[in-house]
Amino acid sequence: MTKTKLLWWSGVALLALTVHTNWASPLAAWLFAIPLLLFTFAARRGLLKVLGALAIGTLVWLAATTLLFVPAALLAFAVLTLLQWLAFVAHRLLTPRLPGFLGTLVFPVTLAGAEYLFPLVVRFGDYGALGSTQHANLPLLQLASVTGVYGITFLMGWFASTAVWAWETRNARRFVVYGLVLAAVFAGGAARLAFFAPADTSVRVAAVSPTRAADERTASALSTMEVEYWRAGAVVAADPGGVRAAFAPVTDDLLEQTRRQAVAGAKIVLWPETHARVLEGDQRELLDRATVIARETGAYVNLAYAMYTAEAPNIRNLSTMITPSGEIAWTYDKSQPTPMEPMTPGPGVVPTVDTPYGRIAGVICYDADFPHLMRQAADKGADLLLVPANDWAEFSELHAEKAVFRNVEYGYSMLRDSAHGLSTAVDAQGRVLASTDWFRTDQQTLVANLSVQARTATVYSTVGDAFAWLCLAGAGALTLAALRRRPGL
């Protein structure tokens, strides 16, 4: 195998380990761009072949998450691939026209800027950020409190371009400036973790789910009726008594688990997204039963459920918060249904309620992938964000891991209850205090103590995506500087 081919295949192999899946390698994410950047100079039509490598990485991710045959996902990630490719194009075309150190900045500013543009161009959520692969690196993760995830992407991209510069000049001292910056980032992150830790006072929270046996009884009853719960029109058209009886095992079990956890001391109890299902005419009864539990135990009970309606599209994805006084604090419709969910979006107003444990906000699953909703929760002063979710095996870990960045960026804690996924309790600095995997237990129940405190103020929550805009401005400035110089000068 020639050196050129080795570079390309090394890049592809590392990229396959980089894309954020349940089995991704955080180390590979720092390395994959190095051989591909070298390849752009070493091979004929190098840029087109790098585009091919990035496309392979995208297809690996889509296949690994079982989204390969979802047209909206294919289109969205085709756009993401092109945006990421622009960073390689910029590096190849501009660095020969810039002084060595300035040239190392082209790739990271373009990559971070491209990632920021993706959710603005394609309304598919903030997927594809290279920095999200570092969710478990707590000192590095603290950088997101200033720059958002894009600062971490910048550092990773800058490492790759600096490595290429050092390789081409055969001079390891090219890493001095980068090393000092990286050391400062880690030192700052370690200091933030050590000296600005969440308050010791905490509240007990619980994320509950039904037993597998209850799940199976509901599934069996629906199967006997030849009704599939995801076909809302068929559910509404079926015999209401039969549907009501089929839904009962899961609903009854969730209510029992709610009471059990509240009696055991949980002050906030959360349900997973759409695991409970109810006909519109039965909603009041469900809320009344949950209200009794909230009043008797003094707990805040956040129900999440699918409600089937006579009006098309025949289904609503709801979250209802019940206070210990029995009041309904909110009934919230999911604002951002996935492309696979045929339902009308809610108005996109994040609800909040003031409690003795701080201000609580709530969204549903995919909503947490949209920056404007997460910022809205922060702007409203949320201390704790509740996220009922519903994932699938191939998507479970990455979805929970990606959500950690919102905690650090905005300074609130998060309780995320995921049916068919990974439930997590995460503090305002990104520490995963507890997690449970739906696929590894008969009954997924998470109990944790989350800090009671005013929301941790962060630079990012004040200045927003200023760093991402600086990256875009930097990419423009470097382009102008390169166009004014001749190669080699």
SS3 assignment, position 73: helix
Q: What is the DSSP string of 1-14?
A: --HHHHHHHHHHHH
Q: Tens digits of per-residue pLDDT, 163-181?
A: 999 999 999 999 999 999 9
Q: Tens digits of per-residue pLDDT, 1-45?
A: 798 999 999 999 999 999 988 888 999 999 999 999 999 998 889
Res 487 pLDDT > 70: no
* Residue recorded with tokens 């973790």: 193
Q: Tens digits of per-residue pLDDT, 270-326?
A: 999 999 999 999 999 999 999 999 999 999 999 999 999 999 999 999 999 999 999
Residue from 410, 360, 366 nearest 386 by CA: 360
Mark residue 170 as left, alpha or beta (left: phi above 0; alpha: psi -120 to 50; beta: remaining): left
- CATH architecture for residues 202-455: 4-Layer Sandwich (3.60)
The Cα 177–Cα 105 span in angstroms is 12
Res 488 pLDDT > 70: no
Q: Tens digits of per-residue pLDDT, 385-430?
A: 999 999 999 988 989 999 999 999 999 999 999 999 999 999 999 9
Q: CB neighbours of 304 closer than 8 A, spacing ≥ 6?
A: 270, 271, 272, 273, 274, 275, 276, 318, 319, 320, 364, 388, 417
Q: Are the C-beta atoms of residues 309 and 246 closer than 8 Å to each other?
A: no
Residue 131's pLDDT band, with cuts at 50, 70 and 90, is: very high
pLDDT score at 424:
98
pLDDT score at 178:
97
Residue 286: exposure state from Cβ atoms within 10 A (0-12, 13-18, ≥19): buried
What residue segments make up the domains of the chain, in order of their start? 3-196+465-483, 202-455
Res 128 pLDDT > 60: yes
Q: Tens digits of per-residue pLDDT, 349-387?
A: 999 999 999 999 999 999 999 989 999 999 999 999 999
Q: What is the DSSP string of 278-330?
A: EEGGGHHHHHHHHHHHHHHHT-EEEEEEEEE-SSTT-EEEEEEEE-TTS-EEE
pLDDT score at 21:
87
pLDDT score at 454:
65
Q: Tens digits of per-residue pLDDT, 99-127?
A: 989 999 999 999 999 999 999 999 888 88
pLDDT score at 486:
64
> 313 preceded by cis ω (within 30°)?
yes
The predicted model scores a pTM of: 0.94
Residue 455: exposure state from Cβ atoms within 10 A (0-12, 13-18, ≥19): buried
The mean pLDDT value of the chain amounts to 95
Residue 48: exposure state from Cβ atoms within 10 A (0-12, 13-18, ≥19): exposed
Q: Are the C-beta atoms of residues 267 and 449 closer than 8 Å to each other?
A: no
* Residue recorded with tokens 């701080």: 358
Task: Read off the pLDDT of each residue in 76-86 and give the average, rounded to a whole number.
Answer: 97
Task: Read off the pLDDT of each residue in 202-220 and give the average, rounded to a whole number.
Answer: 95
pLDDT score at 451:
87
Percentage, residues of the chain above pLDDT 90: 88
Q: CB neighbours of 224 closer than 8 A, spacing ≥ 6?
A: none
